[in-house]
Amino acid sequence: MEDYIVRATAAQGTVRAVAAVTTNMVREARNIHELSPLASVALGRTMTAAALMSTFLKGTKDTLTLQIKGDGPLGGIVVVSDVNANVRGYVHNPLVHLPLNENGRYDVAGAIGKNGYLNVIKDLGLKEPYIGYVKLISGEIAEDITYYFASSEQIPSAVALGVLTNSEDLIQSAGGFIIQLMPDAEESTISNIEQKISTLPSLTKLLSEGKTPEDILELVLGEMNLKIGEKTSCQYKCNCSRERMERGLVSLGKEEIESMIKEQHGAETCCHFCNSKYQFSENDLVSLLENF
């Protein structure tokens, strides 16, 4: 199945929802970063969240960044998505490993740690980006993003994120959904959604059964005049380039570049998001000094 996101409304437009399948995206991230199964699940959940949240962006050049930093051995997560759900990301410790938690699942909360924060940064083309900051409440990612929506955007939301691996620790399926209540949502609608979600099987179970994003939304909102809307693709895609790396070198300053010329006679840069390496010769660095 190809990765995609579907938008929907329900209850006469008082509920908006997005759901996605992101299996190939998470597989790509695992392969690029050679992630442990636990790191794959943590990064996969965060990338799925970013893809879903990118559908709420408006401008054609808008971007969304999720930063999660805790006191656990994973260190942190950084994920960026543009308005077209081209997503890229990395974790600080790609080989993190912990015993399964008490429920027999990957201990994402333990890997991230509870003492930390979630930053949601939206670059909307203004002078300064919007930055929403909340403390982590669980480290399970979906719960923390739910808390972010309630705390920073005052939007009651239900967020579910899942990454399922098989017996060979390969990514079997991944996906998620976000359901949000608009200000004019009725109490009966809220109660109905809460009841449906409380009895819903785990997202990983639904995905393993081959349920599509539309199927999952139907299970929750099917009795509330669900209307499936636009369907768009999502993918792992890095936007790094030699020119971008040149700008990064220039930002280090004249003295640092002169030091590279004198001590290393060149430089190598590596993209955090896709591990692409870029070589700069001594002559390349000398040319960069012309920017000062």
CATH code of the domain containing 231: 3.55.30.10
Per the structure, the count of domains in the chain is 2
Residues 231 and 128 in one domain: yes
Residues 126 and 250 in one domain: no
**Which residue matches tokens 């949502």?**
185
Residues 33 and 76 in one domain: yes
Tokens representing 34?
A: 């050679």
| CA distances, 124 to each of 113, 135, 180 (Å) | 30, 23, 21
pLDDT recorded at residue 292: 77
Residues 160 and 261 in one domain: no
Q: How far, in Å, CA of 87 to CA of 45, rounded?
A: 12
**68 CB contacts (<8 Å, ≥6 apart)?**
46, 76, 77, 112, 116, 117, 118, 119, 136, 141, 144
Dihedral of alpha carbons 37, 38, 41, 43, sign: negative
Residues 274 and 251 in one domain: yes
- pTM higher than 0.75 for the full model? yes
pLDDT recorded at residue 276: 95
pLDDT block averages, 10 residues each, the chain of length 292:
95 97 97 96 98 96 97 97 98 96 93 94 91 96 97 96 89 97 92 94 93 97 96 96 92 91 92 95 90 76
Written as one letter, the residue type at 252 is L
Residues 108 and 126 in one domain: yes
Residues 191 and 57 in one domain: yes
Domain range for 167 is 4-236
Residue pair 65/133 in contact by the 8 Å Cβ criterion: no
pLDDT recorded at residue 168: 81
Residues 216 and 247 in one domain: no
Among 214, 236, 258, where does a domain finish? 236
| CA distances, 137 to each of 70, 148, 152 (Å) | 11, 10, 14
pLDDT recorded at residue 211: 96
Residues 231 and 246 in one domain: no
Residues 73 and 26 in one domain: yes
Q: How far, in Å, CA of 197 to CA of 216, rounded?
A: 10
Q: How far, in Å, CA of 174 to CA of 165, rounded?
A: 9
Q: How far, in Å, CA of 28 to CA of 243, rounded?
A: 24
CATH code of the domain in which 253 resides: 3.90.1280.10
Starting at the earlier edge strand, list the strands of the sheet with 76-82. 130-135, 117-123, 63-69, 76-82, 86-91, 235-236
Residue pair 97/36 in contact by the 8 Å Cβ criterion: yes
pLDDT recorded at residue 125: 86
Residues 41 and 56 in one domain: yes
Residues 273 and 146 in one domain: no
